[in-house]
A and B are shown apart, each in its own frame.
Chain A
Amino acid sequence: MIDAVGNPQSLLLLGGTSEIGLAIVDRFAGQRPLRVVLAARPSERLDEAAERLRAKGCTVSTLAFDARRPETHEEVVGKAFSDGDIDVTVVAFGVLGEAERAWQDVEHARELAEVNFVAPVTVGVALANRLRQQGHGAVVALSSVAGERVRRSNFVYGSTKAGIDGFYLGLGEALKPHGVQVTVVRPGFVHTKMTKGMKAAPLAAQPEQVAEIAVTAVRRRQDLVWAPGAWRFVMSVLRHIPRAIFRKLPI
């Protein structure tokens, strides 16, 4: 159960090696160790993450999860709930891809679409079924400011993020009567392995900052937050710029 001050007892991280996702787990565990299920493709990185959390006093199990195999998602989610209620689920897997290749190479485009949109939808529906039975819980979905107004420079990624954003906002509305809170988090540029080697964009943040914002939002039962918070205002301006001008912006 999530208690009155917002401490969960159990957490499922889909994308169990995501740096932002793990920072969120750390943030919760920092106040109270909890039971954690890491769902990811088996790898050394995954084992290391599990070990690190155990050292912090968490009870950790791992679960094989491949975002590109949607036919397995219902089963994966089922396994994640087999040891009891899941209080918080973080949907953190994703790929950035190579922007120019993604709109010209069918296979690459398909990878982005499947990992960033199809999989969040299939796990989302499986998750929702469980959470409705459970009558409580919180879901954190990592969207992106890139999906809020899709730009020419990375529109395949941006459009998949627009998709996940819309889906989880809607899912949040659908699940409200069932006692489930969905929080959509829209980060800007975050220093993680996903953006390694790229030039940092304005308002660049560390995963810990995003985690702090996400955890506070769960505790406050908020539907939508930006990370850092200033993005909310930047995006509200960008959203209203006419296409003719937007097109010419160096972003």
Chain B
Amino acid sequence: MPEKLGRLTGWGRTAPTTARILERADRAELADVVRAADGRGVIPRGLGRSYGDASQNAGGLVLDMTAFDQIHHVDTETGIVTVDAGVSLDKLMRQMLPHGLWIPVLPGTRQVTIGGAIAADIHGKNHHVEGSFCNHVLAIELLTADGEIRTVTPDGPGSELFWATAGGMGLTGVVLRATVQLKSVESAYFLVDTERTRDLDDLMSRLMDNDDQYTYSVAWFDAASTGAKMGRAVLTRGWSAKLDDLPAKLRNDPLKFNAPQLATVPPVFPSGLLNKLTVSAFNEVWYRKAPKERRGEVQNITQFFHPLDIVGEWNRVYGPRGFLQYQYAVPYGAEDTVRKSMEIISSGGAVSFLNVLKRFGAANGGPLSFPMPGWTLAVDIPITDDLGPLLDKLDQLVLEAGGRLYLAKDSRLTADAFRSMYPRLAEWQKVRDAVDPRGVFNSDLSRRLML
């Protein structure tokens, strides 16, 4: 089995550590290495799109799951597919679109694996009405610490292990395959309403007003403006377009995979290019270029879902020290926390151009699953010397509001803060201890959070 020593980071390119990486193995070999794991343990890795240290395992073994990339079974009638954990959402989307099937939950990038989607229980712009990824998973084949492969489902026997795996960050075992319920669509296009909001109050009241009419909803806010303009945003919401919604020229090939990518950022990007000034300018332009109000526009996949995919590997623009994403969720009623946190971010000298606010719907059964009914806010911030204390302050705010941070984005939370943010941790720990008494599954994240 090809194994090499490699330096790994997450998408934020912070906190590199070195591990042995197992690049290609079959199921039996995976079971063997799990059984034979030493004290530093094992962690599976997908496409490394989590921002922090979730799929790193310093001094231990990292299983590169991307070689498990087969789509095994597709039932075009019911929309049920069985796929390997290493299949990317990008690949799955390309192959399913011709059948009129759509991935029920899409994150801000398609470059994530099924395994990563389950382990982080990812959410998309439709969370407020359709929930997170594991709400659409019917079964998981899980390789556990004893080297056995079990099939677990959301209900019935084994459901505890299913839900501990949903959002369990790879710490309950290796997802080998999953059965997922896809959605049927008439086209690969979206019917989109765009609105520009004056400030945070305006934004929140519009979101509270009629968000549930839309399948998809997200607001990009300007994180550089303070004062009266704080929280001004571009709100885009929409539905999957029906055939009748499309203009004639798109109607010929409505299910075409239409997701252009234009450029890749060069590997050496001067880190000074991103500063308060350029980011303010970017925020201004992004806000201005949006129409004040536009209804029923037809948009393609890239325009609507992945505007950042226009530029591949854009994480390099943040320079050698890397960056992080700060994403929290707080319950309804904590609107003040959203406001205060925005103030701290906008005035704290932090520069961010990926700033998102959205409403979450109901949570699911995963004790470590991130989404909870309320508000979620996410900002990308490059690492600077003063960032640590600023974010510690934000953690405190989030905690006091009964909120939490998202592990797929986190790279700096303390074990104590984490424990207070996830009140169902003990429940999860119990399932995990039972299924992995030796503590085989370990990552830099689990060591940092003392899981």
- Tell me how many residues of B have a C-beta within 8 Å of chain A: 32
Residues of chain B with a CB closer than 8 A to A85's CB: 58, 447
Shortest Cβ gap from B417 to chain A (Å): 10
Distance in angstroms between the alpha carbons of A133 and B414 in the assembled complex: 24
CA distance A135 to B392 in the complex (A): 27
Known: A177-B5, A179-B7. A3 touches B59 (CB 8 A): no
- Encoded as 1 (CB less than 8 Å from any B CB) or 0, chain A from 81 to 108 comes to 0000100000000000000000000000
Contact with A along B10-44 (1 / 0, CB 8 A): 00101111110000000000000000000010000
B412 contacts chain A at the CB level, 8 A cutoff: yes
A136–B59 CB distance below 8 A: yes
The verdict on A152 contacting chain B, using a C-beta distance below 8 Å, is no
A4–B18 touching, CB < 8 Å: no
Any chain A CB within 8 A of the CB of B121? Answer: no
A43 within 8 A of B: no
A4-B324, A5-B412, A133-B59 given as contacts; is B448 within 8 A of A179 (CB)?
no
- Contact between chains at A3 and B7 (CB < 8 Å): no
Q: Which of B324, B388, B389, B444 contacts A136 (CB 8 A)?
A: B444
Nearest chain B residue, comparing its CB with the CB of A179: B18
Q: Which residue of A lies closest to B51 (CB)?
A: A4
Determine which of A1, A177, A180 lies in contact with B444 in the assembled complex, contact meaning CB atoms within 8 Å: A1
- Beta-carbon contact of B392 and A31 below 8 Å: yes
Residue pair B321, A135 in contact (C-beta under 8 Å): no
Digitize A1-36: 1 where CB-to-B-CB distance is under 8 Å, 0 elsewhere: 111111101000000000000000000000110000
- Residue B53 is within 8 A (CB to CB) of chain A in the complex: yes
Asked whether A4 lies within 8 Å of B7 as measured between CB atoms, the reply is: no
Nearest-neighbour CB distance to chain B for A103, whole angstroms, equals 42
Contacts of B324 in A (CB 8 A): 4-5
> Cβ of B388 and Cβ of A2 under 8 Å apart?
no
Complex Cα gap A91–B411 (Å):
27
CB contacts (< 8 Å) of A180 on chain B: these are 18
Among B15, B19, B40, B57, the residue within 8 A (CB) of A3 is: B15
Q: A85-B447, A136-B444 are in contact. Are A4 and B58 (CB under 8 A)?
A: no
A134 within 8 A of partner (CB): yes
Asked if B391 is at the interface (CB within 8 A of a chain A CB), the reply is yes
- Nearest Cβ on chain B to A48's Cβ, whole angstroms: 27
Q: In the bound complex, how far is the Cα of B382 from the Cα of A4, in angstroms? A: 10
Beyond A1-B58, A3-B15, A134-B58, is A220–B321 a contact (Cβ under 8 Å)?
A: yes
Known: A135-B58, A177-B5. A7 touches B40 (CB 8 A): no
Complex CA–CA separation, A134 to B20 (angstroms): 11
Q: Does B336 contact A (CB under 8 A)?
A: no
Residue of A nearest to B17 (CB): A136
How far in angstroms is the closest Cβ of chain B from A88? 13
Residues 28-51 of chain A, each 1 if its beta carbon lies under 8 Å from chain B, else 0 = 000110000000000000000000
Find out whether the CB atom of B444 lies under 8 angstroms from the CB atom of A4.
no
Q: Is A216 an interface residue (CB 8 A)?
A: yes
**Contact partners of B57 in chain A: CB under 8 A:** 135
Judge whether B60 is part of the interface by a CB distance below 8 angstroms: yes
Chain A residues with CB below 8 A from B53, complex form: 1, 3-4
Q: Which of A5, A6, A133, A136 has the most CB of B within 10 A?
A: A5
B18 touches A178 (CB 8 A): yes
Are B388 and A31 neighbours in the complex by a CB distance under 8 Å?
yes
Interface readout for A57-99 with B: 1 if CB under 8 Å, 0 if not?
A: 0000000000000000000000000000100000000000000
How many interface residues does A have (CB within 8 Å)?
A: 23
Chain A: CB-nearest residue to B323: A4
Q: CA separation between A4 and B59, bound complex, in Å?
A: 18
B391 nearest in chain A by CB position: A5
Q: Are B414 and A4 in contact (CB under 8 A)?
A: no
Q: Are B52 and A4 in contact (CB under 8 A)?
A: yes
CA distance A217 to B388 in the complex (A): 15
**Cβ contact within 8 Å between A216 and B385:** yes
Q: Are B387 and A32 in contact, CB atoms less than 8 angstroms apart?
A: no
Contact A5 B40 (CB under 8 A): no
A4-B322, A4-B383, A179-B16 known; A135+B448 contact, CB < 8 A? no
**Which positions 203-236 of chain A face chain B at CB distance < 8 Å?**
216, 219-220
Q: Which residues of A contact B40 (CB under 8 A)?
A: 133-135
Closest Cβ–Cβ distance, residue A137 to chain B (whole Å): 8
Query: When the two chains form their complex, are residues A31 and B389 in contact, meaning their CB atoms are under 8 A apart?
Result: yes
B414: chain A residues at CB < 8 Å are: 32
* Contact indicator per residue, chain B 404-437, by CB within 8 Å of chain A (1) or not (0): 0000000110100000000000000000000000
Select the residue from A1, A2, A6, A9 with max chain B CB neighbours within 10 A: A1
Bound state CA distance, A32 and B415, in angstroms?
12
Distance in Å: Cβ of B15 to nearest Cβ of chain A: 5
CA–CA, A9 to B58, complex, Å? 15
Rounded to whole Å, the gap between the CB of A5 and the closest CB of chain B is: 4
In the complex, A190 Cα to B387 Cα: how many Å? Answer: 29
A88 to B338: give the CA distance in the assembly, Å: 35
How far apart are B321's CB and chain A's nearest CB, in angstroms?
7
Nearest Cβ distance between residue A11 and chain B, in whole angstroms? Answer: 15
The reply to whether A4 and B17 contact each other, CB–CB distance below 8 Å, is: no
Given the contacts A2-B15, A3-B412, A135-B18, A179 and B391 also touching, CB distance less than 8 Å = no
A4 to B412, CA, bound (A): 6
Q: Is A4 a contact of B411 with CB atoms below 8 Å? A: yes
CB distance from B298 to the nearest CB of A (A): 40
List A residues 92-136 near B (Cβ within 8 Å): 132-136
B447 touches A135 (CB 8 A): no
- Kindly list 14 other residue pairs between chains A and B, CB separation below 8 angstroms, not including A4-B53, A134-B58, A179-B19: A1-B15, A3-B53, A4-B324, A4-B411, A5-B14, A5-B324, A5-B391, A7-B412, A32-B414, A135-B40, A135-B58, A136-B18, A136-B59, A136-B444
Interface of B with A (CB < 8 Å)? 5, 7, 12, 14-19, 40, 52-53, 57-60, 321-322, 324, 383, 385, 387-389, 391-392, 411-412, 414, 444, 447-448
Can you identify 26 A-B contacts, CB atoms within 8 angstroms?
Answer: A1-B15, A1-B17, A1-B58, A3-B411, A3-B448, A4-B52, A4-B322, A4-B383, A4-B412, A5-B14, A5-B387, A5-B388, A5-B412, A7-B412, A9-B448, A31-B392, A132-B59, A135-B17, A135-B57, A135-B59, A136-B18, A179-B17, A179-B18, A180-B18, A219-B385, A220-B321
Interface residues of A (CB under 8 A from B): 1-7, 9, 31-32, 85, 132-136, 177-180, 216, 219-220
Task: Rank and list the top 4 A-B pairs by shortest CB-CB distance, nearest first.
Answer: A135-B59, A179-B18, A135-B58, A4-B411
